[in-house]
Structure 1
Amino acid sequence: MRTVARESTDGTNGGCLCGKISYVLTANPLVTAICHCTHCQKQSGSAFSVNLVVRREDLKISGALSTFEDQADSGALIHRRFCGSCGSPIVTEPLDNLEITYLKAGTLDHGHGIVPTVEIWCASAQPWWTSDAPLQGFARNIPV
């Protein structure tokens, strides 16, 4: 049961399952990606994670996040940040790019308008996964 009520009609507010963490996204995402990496699979407890790539300055988070320091395939450190009370994953922050963060789309209060535009880490996708969506796919991360 949520302990904090939030009102939103535009899909830019969100938070964790118990309500101790809330956020407002003040701009549109740069990209929306389905991530099939094994770390997102483990963190989400699912076959993939849907992430909004946003500018950190556009995301205003309220509440104290817990942090798990993880290491990307590239060797770069990333912070997987979540609610310490209910465990909801909120953001993944790459430490080698302090301008962006990956916001977990499942935490949006009204995420029904979210449409992924790319799939990444397709090499790690579950073998049963198929999609009819015309998404650009990458075996690993988006090339820079």
Structure 2
Amino acid sequence: MEAKDIRAECACGQAKLVLSGPPKTVMLCACRDCQKSTGSDHSTLGMWADAQITFIGDSVFYAKEAESGATIARHRCPNCGTPLFGISSRLAGHQLIPLGLLGEQANQFAPKSMIFARSKYEWDHTSDGLAQYTTYRDS
């Protein structure tokens, strides 16, 4: 399904995103870094090309080398702390958008896989039926 001009904003409305067109992929990630960032078993992320994203507002970020070896910069609203987007050194020209930011518009995009499934908790069955990758996808 093709998405056109999806608009999203943080909890306080200071930061806004406009996404033009569908994401390249949608995935769950159960790496320890995503678990700490979300406070949950996994993150649910859409990957959009930089050219598809318009960002309005301010963000602060925390960058660190993840267990995978990639450096991840996680951007949040400086006022309310809402996660806005992530930039990975492994994904040049793309940004990872947490689907929860999209509200009901996220219903258009179903995850296709879970990466870092080796770290998922036994009680989380969200990824049942999805392709599972121990670390990153093969391609």
Task: State TM-score, norm by structure 2.
Answer: 0.88
Work out whether 1:143 is the aligned partner of 2:138: yes
**Separation in 2 of the partners of 1:103 and 1:85?**
19
Give the one of 111, 119, 124 matched to 1:116: 111
Amino acid at match of 1:29: P
Amino acid at match of 2:52: D
**Residues 15-74 of structure 1: CA distance to partner in whole angstroms, max 9, x if unpaired?**
211111111101210100011111111111111110001111111111011010121223
Tell me if structure 1 keeps the 8 A contact 2:114–2:127.
Answer: no
**Alignment partner, residue 104 of structure 1:** 98
**Separation in 2 of the partners of 1:24 and 1:94?**
20
**Alignment partner, residue 64 of structure 2:** 70
Larger helix fraction of residues: 2
Work out whether 1:87 is the aligned partner of 2:87: no
Unaligned runs of 5+ residues in structure 1 are 1-8
**Residues 58-110 of structure 1: CA distance to partner in whole angstroms, max 9, x if unpaired?**
11111011010121223232211111111111111013432111111000142
Count matched residues. Answer: 136
Work out whether 1:33 is the aligned partner of 2:15: no
Aligned residues with identical type, % of pairs? 24
Deviation at 1:142, TM superposition (A): 1.4
Structure 1 residues 132 and 124, CA, compared in 2 at 3 Å: closer, same or farther?
A: closer
**RMSD of Structure 2 on Structure 1 (CA):** 1.9
**Alignment partner, residue 120 of structure 2:** 125
Unaligned runs of 5+ residues in structure 2 are none
Task: State TM-score, norm by structure 1.
Answer: 0.85
**Greater CA drift, 61-70 or 71-80:** 71-80
**Greater CA drift, 54-63 or 69-78:** 69-78
Q: Which runs of 4+ in 1 moved over 3 A?
A: none
**Separation in 1 of the partners of 2:66 and 2:34?**
11
**Greater CA drift, 67-76 or 115-124:** 67-76
3-state DSSP of counterpart to 2:107:
coil
**Separation in 2 of the partners of 1:48 and 1:84?**
23
**Separation in 2 of the partners of 1:118 and 1:33?**
5
**Separation in 1 of the partners of 2:80 and 2:21?**
27
